[in-house]
Amino acid sequence: MPLRAKVASSVSRTAAALSRAAGRGDGSVIGGWIGLKIDPELLAHLAAGRAIALVSGTNGKTTTTRLATAAVGVLGKVATNSFGANMPTGHTSALAKAGSTPYAVLEVDEHYLAQVLDATDAHVVALLNLSRDQLDRAREVAMMAQLWRAALIRHPELRVIANADDPMVVWAASPPTNHDQRITPPQVVWFSAGQRWHDDSWVCPECGSTIARQDNQWWCTGCPLRRPQPQWSVEDDGVMDPTGAWHKVQLQLPGTVNLGNAATALAVAAEFGVRPVDAVLKLGSVTSIAGRYAQVERDGRLIRLLLAKNPASWLEAFDMADEAPTLLSINARDPDGLDTSWLFDVDFSPLQGRQVLITGDRAFDLAVRLDVNNVPFQHVRTFTEAIQSVPPGRLEVIANYTAFQDIRAELDRVL
């Protein structure tokens, strides 16, 4: 690297280490922020010479990145932003901290995908899903798909792993009908993991007609856009690869959605030459991800933490949660989005019949929504009060981002 980049990288690592030592955080942002101030091209310098995979989407990025890192790890050391700092500052800090590694798997915020593709010259990108998320400060879903589409066409050498079940992702990964025929579009490998949330993809992004669905198929009623045939798919409790071979997947993570994340991770690893039969053995080593899915025993209660930050992820969280007392926590701070109206896009009826507690900065917004769904609840002011309000045994905790971090801190920053 140029001398300036070497100095910036060294300062980045030092700043991150000082942040951790001072208890001010994990250093995954501050190190990259300072490094990029010294050398704005630092991310590109650090990415040079590595085979890089990027993972992006509205939901499932952090988990899929961790699973893909484990799978690619069959080949050697892999750099990754394991704490979920998914903007260029986080990528820069992660690569600087890792030092020289042949591979990197990076989670990327969907808004920054174009910028990170340009900076890293990635080998492969996995596109998971697109749905509404923090609309008070983020782009509408169709606009996000358009940005992805424009970014991908600029990288014809890229390999794309894309979700065949999400019409927005399929459209984004497909070349525009009027694209320059002299430019070869990226090659796309499709995976299927099912899609439970449909409310952001009833309208075709190509022509504006209705999207029709039957069983696991979908198609536009006004143009040729339709579900492509996937090469990777979830079958029962395993994954079918492009050769037709089935691989049993034994995860320590709950929920059928994580089988889909595992299928994506196997597809990413295959692009690096890792055989599915070797990669699948590594997936079971992943337990919790920055506190997600962590289980902690406290005062006779077995507490499990589930992160849910938008309507689609709340739907999946309800699927993962056991029939047990459940604490819901909602904040509306800047990282969460300030508008809580999205709560009315979530169907809370699966919680009927169980003990429900609510807390967080915007607990009363949640109270109104639960009342509409005829779900009885108890308001608690602290996490300690919540623990004392339920009998010994399982306690499910479902929280959005900063509420999740608040509870995680009370549990001593469980990993």
pLDDT band at 179 (very low <50, low <70, confident <90, very high): low
- Whole-number pLDDT of residue 414: 54
> b/e for 269-283, b at 16 or more Cβ within 10 A?
bbbbebebeebbebb
**Annotated binding residues for Zn(2+), as ranges?**
204, 207, 220, 223
- Whole-number pLDDT of residue 19: 80
In sequence order, which residues have a C-beta less than 8 Å from that of residue 80 and are 6 or more positions away? 65, 66, 69, 94, 98, 104, 105, 106, 107
In sequence order, which residues have a C-beta less than 8 Å from that of residue 133 and are 6 or more positions away? 58, 309, 310, 337
pLDDT tens for residues 304-359? Answer: 999 999 999 999 999 899 999 999 999 999 888 888 999 999 999 999 999 999 99
The arrangement of strands across the sheet holding 159-163 comes to: 78-80, 103-108, 51-56, 124-127, 159-163, 187-192, 232-235, 238-240, 246-248
**Percent of the chain at pLDDT exceeding 90:** 74
pLDDT tens for residues 371-415? Answer: 999 999 999 999 999 999 999 999 999 999 999 989 988 887 555
- Whole-number pLDDT of residue 234: 94
Angle between helices 61-72 and 257-271 (to 10 degrees): 40
- Whole-number pLDDT of residue 413: 59
- Whole-number pLDDT of residue 194: 82
Phi, psi dihedral angles at 358 (to 5 degrees): -130, 150
- Whole-number pLDDT of residue 84: 76
- Whole-number pLDDT of residue 79: 96
Distance of CA 151 to the CA centre of its chain: 19
The residues annotated as belonging to the active site are: 339
184 has pLDDT over 80: no
C-alpha–C-alpha distance, residues 268 and 265, integer Å: 5
pLDDT band at 125 (very low <50, low <70, confident <90, very high): very high
pLDDT band at 171 (very low <50, low <70, confident <90, very high): very high
pLDDT tens for residues 186-226? Answer: 899 999 988 889 999 999 999 999 999 999 999 999 999 99
pLDDT tens for residues 256-307? Answer: 899 999 999 999 999 999 999 999 999 999 987 878 888 899 989 999 999 9
pLDDT tens for residues 23-52? Answer: 766 777 888 889 989 999 999 999 999 999
Q: In DSSP terms, which residues pair with 125 in a beta bridge?
A: 54, 160
- Whole-number pLDDT of residue 375: 95
User: Which tokens is 292 given?
Assistant: 């997600």
pLDDT band at 178 (very low <50, low <70, confident <90, very high): low
First CA to last CA distance, the chain: 34
Mean pLDDT in the chain?
A: 91
C-alpha–C-alpha distance, residues 390 and 370, integer Å: 19
- Whole-number pLDDT of residue 203: 95
Question: Interior CA angle at 147 toward 144 and 152, to 5°?
Answer: 125
Angle between helices 88-98 and 3-21 (to 10 degrees): 90
Domains of the chain: 42-284 (3.40.1190.10), 295-413 (3.90.190.20)
pLDDT tens for residues 219-258? Answer: 999 999 999 999 999 999 999 999 999 999 999 998 889 9
Q: What does pTM read for this prediction?
A: 0.91
- Whole-number pLDDT of residue 47: 96
